[in-house]
Amino acid sequence: MDAPLLPSLEALAARVPDGATLAIPADYTGVAMAATFALIRRAAKRLRLVCVPTSGLQADLLIGAGCVEAIETSAITLGEFGAAPRFVDAVKRGAIELRDATCPAIHAGLQAAEKGIPFMPLRGLIGSDLMARRETWKVIDNPFAPGDPIALVPAIRPDIALFHAPLADREGNVWVGRRRELVTMAHAARETLVTVEALREASLFEDETLTAGTIPALYVSAIAEAKRGAWPLGLWDRYGADETALQLYAGAARDPQGFARLLEAWLARPAAAAE
């Protein structure tokens, strides 16, 4: 079954209901920033973010805009531009529920959902402070070697996976190259929404060089075209991050008023202005 090609980013954002558990990728993987701005414009509420396995600008914007109720992540940071200011402020105020995790734990939980099993065993969590903070993480004896403890991480099954990719075809297949975490997200989520730089008329599976890095339309719920849809972040092998914009954000977002002014300017920015 082909994934529908939506006419606008607003139509794609409308597919994300308030209260949804939303899986989003790390800044370097393919972040659907144009769709994020569309979510903020429609005033999405009570989103529960699952960062795969970290986030930065995308999560910070959604938190600052009041769209987020809870977040599960191993880190939120703007990288070389410093801490994510609206995330830090929200955590200090207790405005969002923070579920601390590790990168392997998030990947393991998604892999469990991908495989249709209730949990995934993981050893590295044992002995960490996180085990005491996460009631749903359990330690049991290895059934094949009594006395050998192993941690169990429950499956993470997001309502929606949202990401940006370079290319899709009109059948709904999406090319993500070697970004296998995006494949896992699509397999684990109940729905997958994707923005893409370009659409190709011919099937991606007709090209031997693209086939291995293509997510079949079976796992894609809807697609919207968005030129430079990761801006101001970059998209691998296509364009780099807008470091001037990111530095501006890191300074302006330190207080709510500066954040609000910059967000208003970005929301009003024509898509072509990001090129």
Tens of pLDDT along 51-82? 999 999 999 999 999 999 999 999 999 999 99
Q: Are both 204 and 231 inside the same structural domain?
A: yes
Q: Is 4 part of any domain? A: no
Q: Are both 76 and 190 inside the same structural domain?
A: yes
Q: Is 112 part of any domain? A: no
Q: Are both 79 and 123 inside the same structural domain?
A: no
Q: Are both 95 and 214 inside the same structural domain?
A: yes
Q: How many domains is the chain built from? A: 2
Q: Are both 42 and 60 inside the same structural domain?
A: yes
- Predicted TM-score of the model (pTM): 0.95
When comparing pLDDT for 204 and 272, which is higher?
204
pLDDT band for 273, please (50, 70, 90 cuts): very low
In the predicted model, what is the mean pLDDT of residues 190-209?
A: 97
Three-state SS for 129?
coil
Residue 213 pLDDT > 70, yes or no?
yes
Q: Are both 143 and 179 inside the same structural domain?
A: no
Q: How many residues does the chain have?
A: 275
Alpha helices in the chain (DSSP H): 9-13, 33-41, 57-64, 85-93, 103-115, 130-133, 180-188, 208-211, 243-252, 256-267
pLDDT at 274: 44
CA 148 to chain centre: 35
Q: What is the dihedral of CA 136, 137, 143, 147, to 10 degrees?
A: -130
pLDDT at 269: 85
The DSSP call for residue 221 is: -
Q: Is 275 part of any domain? A: no
Q: Are both 172 and 89 inside the same structural domain?
A: yes
Which residues form the domain of 131? 119-154
Q: Is 48 part of any domain? A: yes
The CATH number that applies at residue 21 is 3.40.1080.10
CB 57 within 8 A of CB 33: yes
Q: Is 111 part of any domain? A: no
| DSSP H or E segment with residue 20 | none
Q: Is 27 part of any domain? A: yes
Q: Are both 202 and 255 inside the same structural domain?
A: yes
Q: Is 18 part of any domain? A: yes
Q: Is 107 part of any domain? A: no
